[in-house]
Chains A and B, each alone.
Chain A
Amino acid sequence: MKINYKKYLLAVGSILLLGSCSNDFLDHTPTEFISEDAATADTDALYLAINGIHRSMYIRYENQGETGVGGVMQQMDIAGEDLVYTASNGWYGTVYNWTAPSNDNSQEIRFPYRTFYQIIRNANAIINNADAASGPQEDKNITKGQALLYRAFSHYQLVQIYAKRYVNGVSNSQDGIPLILNTVDIVGRSSVEDVYSQINADIDEAIVLLAGYKKPNNSHLDLPVAYGLKARVNLTQGNWAIAADNAAKARVGKSLMSIAQYTAGFNDYTNPEWMWGSDVVEVQTAYFANFGAYMSRNFSSTVIRACPKAINSKLYNQIPTTDVRAAIFSKTGEHPGITLDPAAKKFPYTSQKFLSVSTADSRCDIPYMRIAEMYLIEAEAKARLGAADAAKILFDLVQKRNPAYVLSTSTGQTLIDEILFQRRIELWGEGFRFFDLKRTNATLDRTGANHNSTLVGGVLTVPPTDKRWQWLIPRAEINANPLIKQNEL
């Protein structure tokens, strides 16, 4: 066995060399993600980031019922008195019976909190990096302006849910919510006053940045949306003049929808009256976590078949029969003219305001802001100011819904009550009722209507002094944020 070992050592040496890895053997670039730096590096990326926020309005969050902002809208109506469960139903059941607000472990109180702070994080990344990004100034303004509106909108939703109401004319030093202005700091609760100041400041900055912006579709936020949000916020604050002024500006050049459009199912974000909404395309469907999987009449989901949502019968019976808004609810529950699943249970007063694509496709566009609301804000604010044209503004809206409507001769509180009634029937199902009750310091009153006392867990009335109007800060925040303070348990 005389072998030239050198030969083999050489062979081994070369294998060893081959075996050593190149320098970048341990470097990999993901295919599902892009780096955070790239996400705000230029205006193209800023548009991706702002569209990501638009999308996050209608994705599923944790539980199936957490249908993005449309899910929070449902919660806000379900907690009120105008939306009625016709049968036992687990989805948002603890919001309906008001046990969730006092349960810090409740997924229902975690959902809006987590959702809006996620949106705020994405908005802050744009707001704080847009100026340094490369690209045209105009595009920086458009994306930053929209991000500011998202931050304002999210803080505004949160402060209404988790803090004590804003009272006009006093120093609102009560605990608000964490005011998050960057993606790094962990902070405690700012006062309600400070939160509203920041919300207004963000909107004001957006109004400057979005001047002249022509948006490609209604999922984007433009100047009218900024004015609309400003109006909404100031209505809550009781700043009537600012609210009226911005509401008027918001609807400049826009028209209300026709009676025919009104009964078409509230599912088309190109509707002339819609200012801001989401459109769900087929490949972006969240299936059972679409808004229409809960709020439409026709989709065949368990919750809709077993427990279609109804309007408060006491409220419905006040709607004149000549009013188109009487036509979007079925007093008999039979819904002639609409295709329902054969197994769908029928109950009186159920809503067909929202219709999904079909019984098997739950997609339904989601309205976040409509011109009608602007009329209602302006009318209410002016009525509260005692302005003479308040009734006329109301008339301009209502006669488009009810041709038989005549100009109201009421004044003072009577007129305000009439406007609030119109608000209830116009904005039913669009996420306003809990906020309206809270801002007007009103009692929740579900009595005398079609609410089942067992399904509401005995919660038929809740006075404005009740601590459940302030939903508890979620346990997960308490556990991880040493600066946070819980609401009264």
Chain B
Amino acid sequence: MRLKFKWIFSLLVALSLQLVSAQEKMIKGVVSDETGPIPGVNVIVKGTKISSQTDFDGTYTINAKQGETLVFSYVGKNNLSMVVGSSSTINVQLTSDSNEMDEVVVVAYGKTTKSANTGSVASISSEKLQDRALTNVLSGLDGATSGVQIQTSSGQPGSAPSVRIRGFSSINGSNTPLYIVDGVPYTGDISAINSADVESMSILKDAASTSLYGSKAANGVVIITTKIGKSEVPKFTLNVSQGLSSRSIPEYSRVNASQYYPLEWEAIRNSRPMGTQAQLDAANLYATNNVATLLVVNPFNVQNNQIVGVDGKLNPNAELLYADDLDWEKQLSRTGIRRSSDFSYQGRSETSNYFVSISNLKDEGVIQNSDYERTTARVNINSKFKEWFRTGLNLSGALSDSNQAVNGVDNTSSFNNPFRTIRYMGPIYPVFDHNADGSFMLDGAGEKIYSTVRGAQASTGRNIVYETLNNKDIDKTIVLSARTFAEFKLLKDIKFTANYAIDKTSINNSTYTNKLIGDAAGIGGASKSDYVYTGVTFNQLLEYEKAFGSHNLSVLAGHESFDYETTYLTGTKRGQVVNDNTEFINFVTVTNLDSYSRNYSTESYFSRLGYDYEGKYILSASFRRDGSSKFAKENRWGNFWSVGAAWNISKESFLSSSSWLNDLKLRGSFGEVGNDSHTSNSGLSYYVYQPTYSLGYDNGSEGGIVANGIGAPNLKWEKNTQADLALEFSTFSNRFSGTVEYYNRKTDGLIFNVPNPLSLGLDNRVENIGSMENDGIEVSLNAMFVKTKDFSWDFNVNASTINNKITSLPQEEIINGSKKLKVGSSMYDYWLRDWYGVDPTDGYILYVSDPSLIVANDAEQRVVNGVNVTTNHTKALYHYAGSSLPDLYGSFTNTFKYAGLELSVMFTYQLGGLTYDTNYASLMHSGNQYGSALSTDILNRWQNPGDITDVPRLDVNRETQNSAASDRWLIDSDYLSFRQANLAYNLPNNLTDKLGINSMRFFVNGENLILFTKKKGMDPTQNFNGTTQNRFSPSRVISLGLNLNF
């Protein structure tokens, strides 16, 4: 890093030397508009590279010769040219551009302006991304607009967040939006995109916007547009930042070693007969004598049978022998360092433009052996050879190299998942072996010995610290992406464009499992897997645009083919020959070798019609016909369409002269899109319609097959009908603006993995089973509370609601895990046993009884407070126990600007919704998970008759009843997340001028700063369906950076 700063410094010095020049004079002046001076106006000496910017008083200085022309430009203002005369002061006043509010918006297969758009589109510009330490550009969507839910990416550096636009349209199918990069569906890894290359991201939410993408767009569309050369003066940009990452979500509160032993004692004692005093004495003594045997390790300085007395209390003389060796997390956690640097240069002439960038990022996770390094490069060149012919190539490549931590997302209960293992590690177990006196036991070489002997449920036989440090899981990825187009202007109003795009991702994964402790103990193992994903898109577009007086008409017709292939090769060998070599040649025995390829393709024909009258009344319509290889021939093709309309009320004569209303627009749309889960094979198998047998079930040397899929020859497109109505407004010189929007999304022919009876011999069948409806209101408001010459305060708030309802099913109900699908309920409604509480008389857990299972004289049935309850969970009543969906979610952002300083703080929030916290449930076991950690909530357990509590008695024989799935484990998901903060400082112009640069900006950025939740340790942001995993939680990253333009 030091090297890089040195380099920048010398660069700055070198550049400042160039200032020297003759015959020029210093021109000064103030640039203003009707409201006062404007900071940040670009001032260029025409035909040269000399340029400057106005400072916060609107003043500028620039060197120019007499007779040269100064060009003043500013977003939303008309350019102004002034010839330099004899005076060295030139004050100018800029006038507003008539299209001031007309942002350009990127939409399906083209661009439009905000006012002419009938659809629901939200855009995020590069400015919003530039100062943030975003390893994955999608993280920039969090909180940026209403109606978008982001499941924060895991703490594994480089991992991508999940994005949901307007909830879920599919139950089993993919709910991932379509990603369009530079006009074409992107099939590469989003992590490969350098966020500094991104010019804008648009989120298309409603049918009018998305339906032109037809089958791929049922879950909304995210359009990422990368930068092109825009600056007439060649421009060089440099960004460097350096940050530190740390754990952002704290661990659950768990009991300590001195609490743990007596609790386990109690759980053992309570499982014995205690009816008489003699029995009680025997039970107490039994527990005292046996607790250490069951927990295996005695970390105290007293005998095994003297740790807990017959009174159930920890021996007052017991002291921990090695209190400092009981913290497992400390052994693996670290402060990660994140460094990024990138530079780009760009320029344009009359006929061509170019943009080139190179970046490097290194991001370390907060756990050892978890990191991500990525290098990207991009070249985007566009040329207009003739008035009628334009072409271009946008080529990008990314190389990444990543040490992967074992993550709970895929391996939530694996022994080698450090997040799981450390979470549930009983507080009495040391990392290393110790002698009787508490000192470290050493091996022949004088090294500490990793401990492997523990209670049965404390990952005995393993040592997660050793395994995490010595196993390897490395991804090496190459992503190549090419976009090219040829555009022909056939006639004055007719344009033909052909786009061709290839995305190729190659992931080479290699793992090594050490031969001392763990899954390959005594032998050592290595696996290598190659995944190659290739997506090829070819489309041809014919566009017609014509104005007839006040009538504007545009027509688009096109054809698109998309071909996607996955190839996979994997092998495993075991029996390591020599140490420190993980290549296959160094292993003896092949234990697995497999490969396959999978293909998916679609073909589409589409058209769009746009019409507006004086920009006041806008109509649009689209139609698309899609064929997908996932369906049987006769069901393959689906027709999708949309219509949209908008009325720019503020352009009507009765409002156009309004002094306070700047903009008012009413828009609405209606349309239908399809879903086949696109490239996701897990969402919907590529070969789902075919009844299949699986290869690979060989018996010794004889080939073998087994039944695999029932086949769904009648499966059809899942169809998503969406209606959208919105009001957009802007008032008081655009100081207060916003959008209020209502949507309704109906999915018909839901593609669902219907559970079969187990007796049918295959777990599921895939069917279009019914209909579902999502609706909600989205509000987005922006207020510029203060706007003075020096200081401004901008406040932005987003809020969205979402309701989900199943409207038809072919059968009465479908029970699926903790959810039950039924007409009128939501796919997010929990269907769980109705937990009643704890009986104060004996501490037994109580569930509300299922009336149909109540029989006379059943000892497991009780009546408490007049309610029929049972101590046996299998006789409990199931009921709808609430929903995982939030009532309201969104974000709010405050942005303050003072002189060159800019501070923005963003919070995201969720109100309502429930999380089914299996992690917490595991920490609330009844004592029989010997060696597994206990939540501090266990301290509130029932102990004596009359105790009023909601934690049942500890009893090693009551685990099944106490831990059964029920609404006991539902916890409110409400949260407030201090998602990010940014403080930036722009160097004043007089200083940048002296340095000979255009601008310089320093910033401090914090991501995932604080999360406030109902239960410490719980991460309610991790899963849309409200379940939890032992995952690598997102990291807090605080970084410092520099942005330089010259």
Which A residues have a C-beta under 8 Å from some C-beta of B?
1, 3, 5, 8-9, 11-12, 15-16, 19-21, 25-28, 30-39, 45, 47-49, 51-56, 59, 87-90, 93-94, 97, 99, 102-106, 110, 113-114, 117-122, 124-125, 177-178, 180, 183, 186-187, 216-217, 219, 279, 281-285, 287-288, 300-303, 305-307, 341, 343, 345, 358-361, 454, 457-458, 472, 474, 476-477, 479-481, 484, 489
**Closest Cβ neighbor of B960 among chain A residues:** A99
A26 contacts B629, C-beta separation under 8 Å:
yes
Give Cα distance in the complex from A186 to B715, angstroms: 21
Are A25 and B561 in contact, CB atoms less than 8 angstroms apart? Answer: yes
Q: List 15 A-B contacts (CB under 8 A).
A: A19-B540, A49-B706, A51-B698, A53-B704, A88-B294, A114-B758, A121-B707, A180-B761, A186-B757, A285-B591, A301-B461, A302-B415, A454-B956, A457-B928, A474-B758
* Interface flag for B968 (CB, 8 Å): no
A99 to chain B, nearest CB (A): 5
Bitwise interface map of B from 586 to 618 toward A, beta carbon under 8 Å scored 1, else 0 = 000111110011111111000000000000000
Known: A105-B964, A360-B523. A33 touches B700 (CB 8 A): no
Nearest 6 Cβ contacts at the A-B interface? A121-B761, A302-B461, A360-B522, A360-B523, A481-B757, A51-B704
Task: Decide: B491 and A36 in contact? CB cutoff 8 A.
Answer: no
Whether B728 is near chain A, meaning CB under 8 Å from some CB there, is no
| CB contact under 8 A between A25 and B453, given known A55-B706, A97-B957, A186-B757 | no
List 5 additional contacts besides A99-B960, A186-B757, A458-B957; criterion CB under 8 Å.
Answer: A8-B488, A34-B693, A118-B761, A125-B707, A219-B699
Which residue of A105, A284, A360 is within 8 Å of B698 (Cβ)? A284
Q: What CA separation (Å) do A106 and B873 show in the bound complex?
A: 12
Provide the bound-state CA to CA distance between A33 and B690, in Å: 10
- Decide if A89 touches B456 in the complex (CB within 8 Å): yes
Check B519 for interface membership: any CB of A closer than 8 A.
yes
Q: B813 — nearest CB in chain A belongs to which residue?
A: A479
How far apart sit A104 and B833, CA to CA, in the bound complex (Å)?
13
Q: How far is the CA of A53 from the CA of B761 in the complex (A)?
A: 13
B592 to chain A, nearest CB (A): 7
> What chain B residues lie within 8 Å of A52 (beta carbons)?
693, 697, 699, 704-706
Q: Is the CB of A33 within 8 A of B496?
A: no
B13 proximal to A (CB < 8 A)? no
What is the CB-to-nearest-CB distance from B955 to chain A, in angstroms, rounded to a whole number?
A: 10
Residues of B within 8 A of A302 (CB): 415, 459-462
Is there contact, CB below 8 Å, between A120 and B872? no
Give chain B residues whose Cβ lies under 8 Å from the Cβ of A56: 697, 706
Residues of chain B lying within 8 A (CB to CB) of residue A27: 629, 633
- One digit per residue, 1 when the CB lies within 8 angstroms of any chain A CB and 0 when it does not, for chain B 756-767 equals 111111110000
B690's partner among A30, A301, A345 (CB-CB below 8 A) is A30
Q: Which residue of A lies closest to B755 (CB)?
A: A480
| B771-812 contacts to A (CB < 8 Å) | none
Q: Is B268 an interface residue (CB 8 A)?
A: yes
Question: In the complex, what distance in Å separates the CA atom of A301 from the CA atom of B491?
Answer: 76
Q: Which residue of A lies closest to B870 (CB)?
A: A489
Asked if B7 is at the interface of the complex by the 8 Å CB criterion, the answer is no
> For B294, B589, B629, B757, which residue has the most chain A Cβ atoms within 10 angstroms?
B757
Known: A34-B693, A53-B706. A26 touches B627 (CB 8 A): yes
- A34 with B457: CB separation less than 8 A: no
A114 CA / B600 CA spacing, docked (Å): 32
- Which chain B residues (834-861) contact chain A, with CB distance < 8 Å? 853
Could you tell me the distance in whole angstroms from the C-beta of A87 to the nearest C-beta in chain B?
7
Q: In the complex, which residues of chain B have a beta carbon less than 8 angstroms from the beta carbon of A484?
A: 757, 759
The answer for the CA separation of A99 and B521 in the assembled complex, in Å, is: 32
Q: Is the CB of A103 within 8 A of B690?
A: no
Known: A458-B957, A480-B756. A33 touches B456 (CB 8 A): no
Is B313 an interface position by the 8 A CB rule? no
Question: Once the chains are docked, how many angstroms separate the CA of A280 from the CA of B875?
Answer: 42
Does B988 sit at the interface, judged by CB under 8 A?
Answer: no
B695–A32 touching, CB < 8 Å: yes
Does the CB pair A33–B692 fall under 8 Å?
A: yes
Chain A residue with Cβ nearest B460: A306
How near does chain A come to B1041, taking the closest CB pair, in angstroms?
45
A39 to B460, CA, bound (A): 44
The answer to whether B692 touches A30 (Cβ under 8 A) is yes
With known contacts A26-B628, A52-B704, A361-B523, A88–B691 Cβ distance under 8 A? no
Beta-carbon nearest neighbor of A120 in chain B: B761
Q: Do the beta carbons of A117 and B699 come within 8 Å of each other?
A: no
Is there an interface contact between A9 and B498, defined as CB atoms closer than 8 Å? no
A51, B522: Cβ atoms under 8 Å?
no
Whether B704 contacts A48 by the Cβ 8 Å rule is yes
B462 vs chain A, min Cβ distance (A): 7
Q: Does B668 sit at the interface, judged by CB under 8 A?
A: no
Q: How far apart are the CA atoms of A104 and B184 in the complex, in Å?
A: 50
B912 on the A face (CB < 8 A): no
Compute how far the CA of A232 lies from the CA of B689 in the bound complex, rounded to whole angstroms: 42
- Asked if B930 is at the interface of the complex by the 8 Å CB criterion, the answer is yes
Partner among B522, B575, B691, B707 whose Cβ is within 8 Å of the Cβ of A359 = B522
Instruction: Name the residue in B456, B496, B758, B763 with the highest tally of chain A Cβ atoms < 10 Å from its Cβ.
Output: B758
Bound state CA distance, A325 and B773, in angstroms? 67
Out of A54, A287, A358, name the residue touching B699 (CB < 8 Å): A54
- A341-B455 in contact given A122-B706, A122-B761, A480-B756 (Cβ < 8 Å): no
Please report the C-alpha to C-alpha distance between residue A8 and residue B452 in the assembled complex, in whole angstroms. 75
Contact residues in A for B704 (Cβ distance below 8 Å): 48-49, 51-55
How far does the alpha carbon of A301 sit from the alpha carbon of B415 in the complex, in Å? 12
Chain B residue with Cβ nearest A34: B693
B596:A32 contact, CB within 8 angstroms? yes
Inside 8 A of A285's CB, which chain B residues have their CB? 591
Task: Indicate whether A306 sits within 8 Å of B461 (C-beta atoms), given known contacts A32-B696, A219-B699, A283-B592.
Answer: yes
Asked whether A360 and B520 contact (CB < 8 A) given A34-B695, A51-B697, A122-B707, the answer is yes
Task: Write out the residue numbers on chain B whose beta carbons fall within 8 Å of the beta carbon of A47.
Answer: 702-703
Chain B residue contacts of A359, Cβ below 8 A: 522
**Contact code string B481-492 (vs A, CB < 8 Å = 1, else 0):** 000000010110
User: Is A31 a contact partner of B597 (Cβ separation < 8 A)?
Assistant: yes
B440 within 8 A of A: no
Do the beta carbons of B759 and A178 come within 8 Å of each other?
yes
Asked whether A489 lies within 8 Å of B875 as measured between CB atoms, the reply is yes
B692–A34 touching, CB < 8 Å:
yes
Q: Would you call B671 an interface residue if the criterion is a C-beta within 8 Å of the partner chain's C-beta atoms?
A: no
Q: Which of A53, A87, A124, A480 has the most CB of B within 10 A?
A: A480
A49 and B705 contacting across the interface, CB-CB below 8 Å: yes
Chain A hits for B574, CB < 8 A: 360-361
CB under 8 Å from chain A, chain B span 550-570 = 559, 561, 563
Q: How far is the CB of A185 from chain B (nearest CB, A)?
A: 8
Chain A residues whose CB sits within 8 angstroms of the CB of B290 once the complex forms: 454
Per-residue interface assignment for chain B, residues 474 to 508, with 1 indicating a CB less than 8 Å from any chain A CB and 0 otherwise = 00000000000000101100001010000000000
Residue numbers in A under 8 Å from B815 (CB-CB): 479-480
B709 within 8 A of A: yes
- B461 near A343: Cβ-Cβ < 8 Å: yes
Q: A19-B540, A217-B700, A458-B271 are contacts. A180–B759 as well, Cβ < 8 Å? A: yes
CB distance from A5 to the nearest CB of B (A): 6
Contacts A15-B540, A19-B538, A30-B598 given; does A477 touch B757 at CB 8 Å: yes
**Residue of B whose beta carbon sits closest to that of A177:** B759
Quick check: B590 and A36 within 8 Å, CB to CB? no
Task: Kindly state whether residue B18 has any CB partner on chain A within 8 Å.
Answer: no
Question: Which chain B residues (871-887) contact chain A, with CB distance < 8 Å?
Answer: 872-875
A51 and B703 contact, CB distance less than 8 A: yes
A276 to chain B, nearest CB (A): 13
Contact assessment for B760 and A186 in the assembled complex, using a CB-CB cutoff below 8 Å: yes
B512-538 to A contact mask, C-beta < 8 Å, 1/0: 000000011111000000000000001
Report B-chain residues with C-beta under 8 Å of the C-beta of A283: 590-593
Q: Mark B704-748 against chain A: 1 for CB-CB distance below 8 A, else 0.
A: 111111010000000000000000000000000000000000000
Task: Note all chain A residues with C-beta closer than 8 A to B490.
Answer: 5, 8-9, 12
Distance (Å) between the CB of B305 and the closest chain A CB?
A: 15
